[in-house]
Structure 1
Amino acid sequence: MSDKQNNPLPKILGENFKVAREKRGLSIEELANQAILSNSQIRQIEGKEQGAFYSPLIKYSSAQKVAKILGLPDDQAFDASQEVVDDDIQALREQKELKEIEAMLAQKMINELKFEKPSLIQKIIRKKSSAQLPIQGIELPQTSRPNPSFKRIAVLLVLIAALGLGYWLLNPYLNVA
């Protein structure tokens, strides 16, 4: 367990933030602009939304900034005596576990596709070369493509032939002088 989990951040007293904001006559949007935060971050500090911050520490430091703007003392903005681990820290743990499970499932799907349906991978990512894919070093079979310069040369030769034929057909009329 890290120090952050042993010593959780103080609980943010969201209702006090709301009361202080309303006493100053500020809307959520106005306070967000002053604090350089989003409306949803202000709502989360006030306890109405979840997930607007990347980490509990960022939420706490943002709440400190908002408290300073509102003139809210620390003892009214935060409850340091609360011994329960902050809900955001628990949510972060669950989110990390969920990401680990998603990664394991994705790896399992990749392995199944790699060995059972390699052409499906090719369709999914629409690559037609044997270049290594960014997914666990999967290599696709190389497919041949017509060389684009060959097409250009063929068109150029047809144009030259058409000019030559046109010159040959028009030549008797051009030397009439």
Structure 2
Amino acid sequence: MSDKQNNPLPKILGERFKDAREKMGLSIEELANKAILSNSQIRQIEGKEQGAFYSAAIKYSSAQKVAKILELPEDQAFDISQTDLDHDSQELKEQKELKEIEAMLAQKMINELQYERPSLIQKIIGKQTSAQLPLQGIEVPQANRPKSILKRSVFLLILIVGIGLCYWLLNPYFNVS
């Protein structure tokens, strides 16, 4: 696979963006406001700064938006024959590797929790009945809740009977004529 297939984004011709902006009489701040971007992102599109975008794809789509505002045709704003590979290609590769590592670690943690520490899963989920984890559809057995509703009902019934009995026994003393 060639480098062009790894990162098909064309190179942004920053000087042309700057020339078009100056020709329209716009400052970096004015263009940033029109494009709803930061000043440093405009500077990066013009080639003066680095690191204002999360990825090459976001930088490219932002540059397309700025090119439309500046009425700069795509063939003048971007060099389709060249791609900006050096930094961005390595960054994309590292991001992919990082996601694979995160997925493996998450799976390992889920397996450990499922088989070795189900009580910890109960704490995380915060429920006392069986619950399904969103990842991998793992069913987690959990301890049954104590039958607190039955206990409360019996307590209330005894309390009502006790109050009724007290009223019945003490009623003759309160009905003094």
> What TM-score do the two structures reach when normalised by structure 1?
0.68
* Residue type of the alignment partner of 1:25: S
Q: Which has the higher strand share?
A: 2
Gaps of 5+ in 2: none
Change (3 A) 1:45 1:127: farther
Deviation per residue, 1:139-166 (Å, 9 max, x gap): 3333121234324413422441343144
Instruction: Note the 1:70-81 alignment, pairs <5 A.
Output: 70-74=70-74, 76-81=76-81
Deviation per residue, 1:23-79 (Å, 9 max, x gap): 41241xx434422456675465344324435x62x5423312212212445455323
What's the counterpart of residue 175 of structure 1? 175
The aligned length equals 173
Identical aligned residues as a percent? 70
Change (3 A) 1:98 1:111: same
Change (3 A) 1:131 1:88: same
Offset, 1:9: 2.3
Deviation per residue, 1:123-153 (Å, 9 max, x gap): 3444432333233343333312123432441
Contact 2:114 2:140 survives alignment (8 Å):
no
Contact 2:21 2:70 survives alignment (8 Å):
yes
What is the Cα-based RMSD across aligned positions, in Å?
3.6
> What TM-score do the two structures reach when normalised by structure 2?
0.68
Displaced runs of 4 or more, over 6 A: none
Instruction: Note the 1:1-177 alignment, pairs <5 A.
Output: 1=1, 5=5, 8-14=8-14, 16-18=16-18, 20-21=20-21, 23-27=25-29, 30-37=30-37, 42=42, 44-46=44-46, 47-52=49-54, 56=57, 58-74=58-74, 76-83=76-83, 85=85, 87-177=87-177
